[in-house]
Structure 1
Amino acid sequence: MKQQILDVLKNAVKPVSIVELTSKLKIINHAQQEELLSDVEELKTSDIILENDQKEFYLEKGYNKFLIGVIQVTMKGTGFVKPLNSNDKEYRVSPNNTNHALNNDEVLFSAISNDEAIVNIVLKRNTTSLVGTVVVDQVTKQKTLSVQNSKLQRYRVQILNEDQAIENNIVVAKINNFQENNFTVTIEKILGNLNDPGVDILSVIYEVGIKPQFDPETLMAANAISQTVSEAEKKNRIDLRNEVLVTIDGKDAKDFDDAICVYKLKNGNYRLIVAIADVSHYVQAKSPLDDEAFMRGTSVYLADRVIPMLPTQLSNGICSLNEQVERLCFVCDMEINSKGYTVSSKIYEGLMKSVRRMNYDEVNEAYHDKKPEFVSTHPQVWSMLKDAKELYEILAQYKINNGVIDFDIDEAKVVVSEQGEVTDIKLRTRDISEKLIESFMIRANETVARTISKRNLPFIYRVHESPRKKKLSQMTTILKLMGLQGNYHWDKLHSKDLQILLNSLKDLPNFQVLSTLLLRSMEKARYSNANIGHFGLASTCYTHFTSPIRRYPDLIVHRLLRQYLVDRDINPKVIARNQNFTALASEQSSNMEVKAMECERIVEQMKKAEYMTKFVNQKFTGIISGITGFGVFVELPNTIEGLIKLSDMQDDFYIFNEKAMILFGERKRKQYRLGQTVDILVKNANKASRTIDFVFADMKQESNKDLRIKEHGKKMKFYYSKRSRK
């Protein structure tokens, strides 16, 4: 809210009172009022706004052109910042102009050119602790902290309570002070020795800032909930216990959000029942369970564990649609015709009993005529699944016709032992059953979203803007320089245009690289209470309804459905309150989704590096997945990616053409392009730094000294990308 406060004061002709700020910012509840008072106090403390004797506020002279944002700082100290709650352009901040801001700090900044800015004041340190390994200098015996976060490793760290610092222990340390590139810290928590099983992933959880445990009040509330459905709870619900509802999930799944049932009607249409765990019945608004779910936003799925959004008493217990037990559910019940159109739908509270807990593998086996056991033991389930496959094929064709974009990018599955060691890196498979469930969930999400959107009531939508023309133009340039000529026009862009482009590339050996490049050109999906559609899914109206056990927006969607459709509790006061809360919950959930994805990405990088330590000096074949001013990225078939540094490419002087994404040798004219197949040797893999280094297998490693002699003193030419980040 700080930026909005500044905007009001910038436009004010006289000092503004709290009452006037409340009115201009449209504050309508106690939580917003508290946030306003807190932000005003922080701005006062920073001397950005001043208060007169009448307790009115005005901007300090000279602050009219200042903005507030959260800065992202690279390993080399360069910052990038844009105004809070804004889609305005991003500014670059040189290392000399960051004013000692740390990554994710909230800062007051001002533009000094069209794309450059300077940090004037650090308003809030969002990094309050460090995670690292205690190291001891073998000469001086001084103890210090080797920080895990690569963006903070250039700073020195002094440990105040050295008696708690045991060599090779990974610890969480509170930051007491940060001045002149020096941290002073106090160790608050010892996570364990760096070689203890699971400590590596636990340290990442703390580094990213995700809570690994629930609050005592939350656990107490979860323990108080009965693990069986009472007779009173069954009243006024539609009974689906005789329907052939099944869950289909991975073999290692513990929580089951969704169940499906499909059968063909006499008129040739299909009835699709999507029954979702009724989590909102158990997680009441403003309860300890709800408060913590709001704070967490999502479950986090890591290589050796899940950090659930809700305690396991709910996520694996009473809320989970376990086999052959009665469960409360929220249902999206649809009739779909042979063209894929939803001709009618109902949303209601239900009571169900899952007939069988299915897994993707056995359903895929059945669809591929391998006749798994359930085909004979549960013939009614197999009959239902055959109807489900027919409907899936109809819905898949419907989505293709509408322009859905399927990037078909390989994803890795990290397999770990009970001791936490990586035993394999596999590709995740997406066969018929996985796509079938995804298709049914998408249709349910669309149906729910349209149901509320046409009533024009406050809601949470899953939105995805169309990509920016500038990013697509860069992609077009790369495609043309790779010899892939086409009619690339991005005016009045529709998802169908990108679908056609992707389909034209599918048979190319470098499809994965090109598909990934196109994906990076897209905007990020997020939550919003404004429906602007979902570009990637070719949906004009979309929400998340199907996973309330693991996603907070789905839980709120259920709560709103009950309020609007079941209780009919709709009045101006409710609408105003819901409008405000859906905006707040959308922003919080989007932020926590980003944090969860960051944690998952870091753990995957770390475990891939650990895995590749077994293969140092071994040869592999991969494809060039990225080219930068500092080297070439090569991806192996199992998605592991390593960097070939320019400093290791010593057979020539290499020039980087950023526009064409090509690296070419000045003497030998050798070229390296995106998607090119190359042989590499694993030079090094470092679990601590989460990095993997390759070298080209066929490159003669000449010393820099020899090259300088051969080239008569020429210097190596690097053209660095101005905005490249590491």
Structure 2
Amino acid sequence: MNIKEKVLKYLKSCKNSSFVKLSRDLKIPFSKNKELSDILNELQKEYKVFRDNKDNYYAPELIETVVGLLNVSNKGTFGFVDYNINEETGEKDSVFVKNFNFKTAINGDLVQVNVYKNPRDENDQNNGIVTEVLERNTHEIVGFIKKTEKSNTVFFQPIDAKLKNNKFIILPSNVSFKVNDLVAASVVDYKERYIEIKVDKVITNDADPMVFVKAFIEQVKVPEAFPEELKNETDKIPQNIDLEDQSNRVDLTDQMIVTIDGDDTKDFDDAITVKKLPNGNYFLGVYIADVSYYVQEHTEINKEALKRGTSIYLVDRVIPMLPFELSNGICSLNPNEKRFVMAAEMEIDKFGNNVNCKIFQGIIKSKFRLTYKQVDKYFKENSILEEYSNQQEVSELKKMLNEAKELSLILHKFKENQGYIDFEIDEPKIKLNEDGSVKEIVIHKRGFSEVLIEDFMVRANETVAKYLFDNKLPLLYRIHEIPDFEKINALENSLKAIGLTLPDIDLSDINPQLFSQFAAQIKDQRNDDFVKLSFLRTMQKAIYSTDNVGHFGLASNFYCHFTSPIRRYPDLIVHRTIRKYLINNHSRDDIDSYTSEIENYGVLNTKSEQKAVQIERDVNDLKFAEYLKDKIGQTFDAQIQSILNFGFFISFEFKASGLVHKTSFFDGEYEANETLTSAKVGQNKFNIGDWVKVVVVGVDLVEGKVDCVLESQYPKYLESQSNLKENLRFKHTGAKSGKNKKTS
């Protein structure tokens, strides 16, 4: 029996064994240690022997073969393959795979895995070996062109940390590139030891302050440019309505109809007018760009709009759902230009109830393009557009705005009585320099004019939804289900943890009115952003569905999205439903099939919206990290937002987030409680909602992550990092700096 056979027989008959114990028990002389090491490596390659985390060897037992997606860690050294996934509960099995067992698989690939267990240690995790790559899910990789210092060899450095242990060979292509260029490269072939790639395009270079935003946009496949196939259709889009059929439209061009939007808004899809009627009621007109007239089904423009689902608003640009010719052209309700609209006109009594309503197609000519700042200034100082020569129109405008303010207050009170809670969370606004670098971060506080427009849009959406429901027509509702028990329980735990007294209100059978009463009593005790966010985290995510269950957050029994068809596809669907059944009087024989069709669209649009929201947040995080790059070593006030087993997340006053990892504590072991509302480190206790002083110690410019330590721990942190040598890739760290500047 040779040494290899002896080793295998020994490991099959005993518990895990270290190299030293194995050589001693098998009486292998020291001179043959190199041969023993080679044999063990050979057995590992044959998957007959494994090595655990303690460097002990064992003979594994194959228990099953599974299929799943490979999810590689950010360090690239290992991954997990999930299988037996229960879509309803989210429960799943996972198998651990070391990177040398990936075969040629990379993150996201669909793989077949042999699952092995350690038969003599039930506590040891199962290990997986990729035996086959069933489907490649990465076809393009984004990264930098770099050059080695010693040999001047050009190489490819991927942005994605999960690929940092892979080697790449750059094949010749027609694209010229330079060192430090950020490029997009297509995968040509997966070899055993490297991946062959070909550079397809140069995105920018590493001197560009927007380099990591552009890399991210390329990675998540945000479609900025519109396909060439749309050009034939966009070229035919008219830029005025003079030659269009206007016979079935109500002419509203003489009305005091205006748009009120942000300073930077370029596409205006909603306009309003308000009048106080002789009977004391109010007339509210909401006029929405008639996108469905121009974007027909079965067109390339419509296909692309459905694919995008929504416009995406980034710090430096808008990635629109519709081509410019529509979004900023004929569909935009520009001042003093005739435009087609879908109109919702309502008569509302002094208590906020709808008395009657009309929905129809019309023509408007917006009299003024107002901004929120202008309207807020008018409400405060009674001054608006003094430079405008037509004082009669300005006088009409002032009268209309005064009556609009009255109606907004009535509608807002009406919603609050129904159970609507206005949390008024301040939002950060990232301001950029001309080159795209961060200039400053300011907190945007919502003014009254924004609330006014929101009140009117909500009422229009509710009115349209109720009108279509009453007419027994299918509708893509915007629904928001009641919070589940676990989230309510987590909310109560959070509020108790920050020392608040819970109201004597039973939330087990929750409805908007009860929840509103509960929130009101909490707000009387404390009403900062932490409390508001705690309530918001309790809420479910709103989705699109043909099955109406109401909108819990808005306390609405009937709600849809009608008011933004330039930037949201569901609004376009609602407009089409109105046009199809109410304006064109289409036969209702196809209602079942139409309902099924728009339900499918609702699923797609929910995913599109959630993806867009995540993209917007991720891009903001990238710019937050950039902003803090030059502030490493500085102290900030921050509030603990969430406590986890590995540390806690904090929020700066300018709304960026950072992580205080448990390894940054040096005064004791970090231990979070069961409800994750507090943590102890030695004699110190930290609760969610507490304000602490933190020092920024590192940022990841690719991931948009910020690392912090408590100010009290910073000197010891610096000491612990002084001898650390780590390849930080695209990270910036303050480990070598002893300076600690305070920032108010």
CA spacing shift, 1:375–1:679, aligned 2, 3 Å: farther
| 1:281 counterpart letter in structure 2 | Y
Question: 1:474: which partner in 2?
Answer: 490
Instruction: Report the Cα offset of residue 191 of structure 1.
Output: 0.4
Which residue, out of 543, 548, 557, partners 1:540? 557
- The question of whether the paired residues in 2 share the 8 Å contact of 1:67 and 1:83 is answered with no
For 2:195 and 2:179, the matched residues in 1 are separated by 19
Residues 59-83 of structure 1: CA deviation (Å, up to 9, x unaligned): xxxxxx9999989776474577896
Root-mean-square deviation (Å): 3.4
Q: Does 1:687 align with 2:701?
A: yes
- The question of whether the paired residues in 1 share the 8 Å contact of 2:426 and 2:446 is answered with no
Question: 1:713: which partner in 2?
Answer: none
For 2:341 and 2:701, the matched residues in 1 are separated by 44
Q: How does 1:267-282 map to 2 (within 5 A)?
A: 267-282=279-294
Question: 2:516: which partner in 1?
Answer: 499
Q: Does 1:380 align with 2:396?
A: yes
Instruction: Report the Cα offset of residue 544 of structure 1.
Output: 0.7
Residues 286-313 of structure 1: CA deviation (Å, up to 9, x unaligned): 1111111111111111111111111111
Question: 1:619: which partner in 2?
Answer: 635
Which residue, out of 517, 542, 553, partners 2:534? 517
| 2:147 counterpart letter in structure 1 | V
Question: 1:297: which partner in 2?
Answer: 309
For 1:403 and 1:466, the matched residues in 2 are separated by 13
Which structure is higher in RCO with an 8 Å CA cutoff and minimum separation 6?
1
Residues 312-333 of structure 1: CA deviation (Å, up to 9, x unaligned): 1111111000000100000011
Segments of 5+ residues of structure 2 without an aligned counterpart are: 1-63, 118-125, 721-744
Question: 2:436: which partner in 1?
Answer: 420
Segments of 5+ residues of structure 1 without an aligned counterpart are: 1-64, 707-726
| 2:397 counterpart letter in structure 1 | V
For 1:97 and 1:531, the matched residues in 2 are separated by 47
| 2:548 counterpart letter in structure 1 | N
Residues 233-261 of structure 1: CA deviation (Å, up to 9, x unaligned): 22110111111110000001000000000
- The question of whether the paired residues in 2 share the 8 Å contact of 1:374 and 1:382 is answered with no
Bigger CA radius of gyration: 2
Question: 1:170: which partner in 2?
Answer: 182
Question: 1:148: which partner in 2?
Answer: 159
Instruction: Report the Cα offset of residue 520 of structure 1.
Output: 2.5
Question: 1:236: which partner in 2?
Answer: 248
Question: 1:334: which partner in 2?
Answer: 346
Instruction: Report the Cα offset of residue 580 of structure 1.
Output: 2.9
- The question of whether the paired residues in 2 share the 8 Å contact of 1:71 and 1:82 is answered with no
Which residue, out of 450, 455, 462, partners 2:471? 455
Q: How does 1:149-228 map to 2 (within 5 A)?
A: 149=160, 152-153=162-163, 155-161=165-171, 166-177=178-189, 183-196=195-208, 198-228=210-240
Q: How does 1:32-51 map to 2 (within 5 A)?
A: none
For 1:70 and 1:582, the matched residues in 2 are separated by 31
For 1:510 and 1:340, the matched residues in 2 are separated by 27
Normalized against structure 1, the TM-score is what?
0.80
Question: 1:307: which partner in 2?
Answer: 319
Instruction: Report the Cα offset of residue 624 of structure 1.
Output: 1.3
Instruction: Report the Cα offset of residue 178 of structure 1.
Output: 5.7
Question: 1:398: which partner in 2?
Answer: 414
Question: 1:245: which partner in 2?
Answer: 257
Residues 510-559 of structure 1: CA deviation (Å, up to 9, x unaligned): 73223223323322112122222211111122111111111111111111
Moved more, 458-467 or 299-308: 458-467
For 2:110 and 2:468, the matched residues in 1 are separated by 36
For 1:106 and 1:452, the matched residues in 2 are separated by 45
CA spacing shift, 1:413–1:700, aligned 2, 3 Å: closer
| 1:643 counterpart letter in structure 2 | L
For 1:479 and 1:189, the matched residues in 2 are separated by 52
CA spacing shift, 1:128–1:276, aligned 2, 3 Å: same
Question: 1:585: which partner in 2?
Answer: 601
| 1:562 counterpart letter in structure 2 | R
| 1:351 counterpart letter in structure 2 | I
CA spacing shift, 1:536–1:103, aligned 2, 3 Å: farther
For 1:521 and 1:82, the matched residues in 2 are separated by 29
Question: 1:569: which partner in 2?
Answer: 586
Instruction: Report the Cα offset of residue 633 of structure 1.
Output: 2.0
- Identical amino acids, percent of aligned pairs: 35
Question: 1:138: which partner in 2?
Answer: 149
Question: 2:29: which partner in 1?
Answer: none
Question: 1:33: which partner in 2?
Answer: none
For 1:181 and 1:538, the matched residues in 2 are separated by 59
Moved more, 496-505 or 639-648: 496-505
| 2:547 counterpart letter in structure 1 | A
> 3-state DSSP class of the match of 2:627?
helix
Q: Does 1:677 align with 2:677?
A: no
Which residue, out of 260, 268, 272, partners 2:272? 260
Q: How does 1:43-192 map to 2 (within 5 A)?
A: 75=74, 77=79, 87-91=88-92, 93-96=94-97, 125-139=136-150, 141=152, 143-149=154-160, 152-153=162-163, 155-161=165-171, 166-177=178-189, 183-192=195-204
| 2:716 counterpart letter in structure 1 | E
Instruction: Report the Cα offset of residue 203 of structure 1.
Output: 2.1
For 1:556 and 1:489, the matched residues in 2 are separated by 39
- The question of whether the paired residues in 2 share the 8 Å contact of 1:392 and 1:436 is answered with yes
Instruction: Report the Cα offset of residue 367 of structure 1.
Output: 1.3
For 1:419 and 1:652, the matched residues in 2 are separated by 46
- The question of whether the paired residues in 2 share the 8 Å contact of 1:476 and 1:488 is answered with no
For 2:283 and 2:613, the matched residues in 1 are separated by 35
For 1:72 and 1:298, the matched residues in 2 are separated by 29
For 2:70 and 2:378, the matched residues in 1 are separated by 52
- The question of whether the paired residues in 1 share the 8 Å contact of 2:70 and 2:80 is answered with no
| 1:617 counterpart letter in structure 2 | G
Instruction: Report the Cα offset of residue 267 of structure 1.
Output: 1.3
Which residue, out of 664, 671, 678, partners 1:662? 678
Residues 379-432 of structure 1: CA deviation (Å, up to 9, x unaligned): 111110111111111111111111113332222111112211110111122111
Residues 135-156 of structure 1: CA deviation (Å, up to 9, x unaligned): 3343465554443345x34552
User: May I ask how many residue pairs the two structures share in their alignment?
Assistant: 635
Residues 593-631 of structure 1: CA deviation (Å, up to 9, x unaligned): 122122211210111111112322222212112222222
- The question of whether the paired residues in 2 share the 8 Å contact of 1:404 and 1:536 is answered with yes
Instruction: Report the Cα offset of residue 270 of structure 1.
Output: 0.8
For 1:325 and 1:704, the matched residues in 2 are separated by 63
CA spacing shift, 1:270–1:133, aligned 2, 3 Å: same
For 2:351 and 2:109, the matched residues in 1 are separated by 52
For 1:149 and 1:488, the matched residues in 2 are separated by 49
Question: 1:407: which partner in 2?
Answer: 423
| 1:694 counterpart letter in structure 2 | C
CA spacing shift, 1:120–1:460, aligned 2, 3 Å: farther
CA spacing shift, 1:182–1:380, aligned 2, 3 Å: farther
> 3-state DSSP class of the match of 1:698?
helix
For 2:540 and 2:324, the matched residues in 1 are separated by 34
For 1:523 and 1:97, the matched residues in 2 are separated by 37
Q: How does 1:478-489 map to 2 (within 5 A)?
A: 478-486=494-502, 487=504, 489=506
CA spacing shift, 1:591–1:240, aligned 2, 3 Å: same
Instruction: Report the Cα offset of residue 478 of structure 1.
Output: 2.7
- The question of whether the paired residues in 1 share the 8 Å contact of 2:288 and 2:564 is answered with yes
